[in-house]
Amino acid sequence: MFMEAMDSPSLKAGEYLSDPSRTALGVEFEAALLMQRQGQDIWQVRELRMRALCNQQRLQRSSAEGQWLDYVGRDDTAAKVRWICSLAASN
């Protein structure tokens, strides 16, 4: 599911999420970032396991060791968390 696009002189990117599922703390989901840096012809994909902590309005990502780490976002992180949490509520 498409979440957001970014287009700047140095980076073009799209954020996607799939498989949102409700947990005791919020919503866990698979995230993908499709990006192309300035001067490169190739698009790269980064995949992450993430979760939205609905009551705290925070996003976290799972590290390679399986630990949840805060995902420092942009000013719109709280709005994204509300949107993600509403997706899982409607399923």
Per-residue pLDDT tens for 58-84? 999 999 999 999 988 777 888 999 999
Owning domain of residue 84: 2-90
Q: Which of 59, 50, 57 is nearest to 30 (CA)?
A: 50
How many folded domains does the chain comprise? Answer: 1
Residue keyed to tokens 């840096």? 37
Q: What is the pLDDT of residues 25-54, one digit of tens each?
A: 999 999 999 999 999 999 999 999 999 999
Under a CB-based contact definition with an 8 Å cutoff, are residues 71 and 59 in contact?
A: yes
b/e map 58-81, b = 16+ CB within 10 Å: bbbeeeeeeeeeebeeeeeeeebb
* Gyration radius of the chain over CA positions: 14
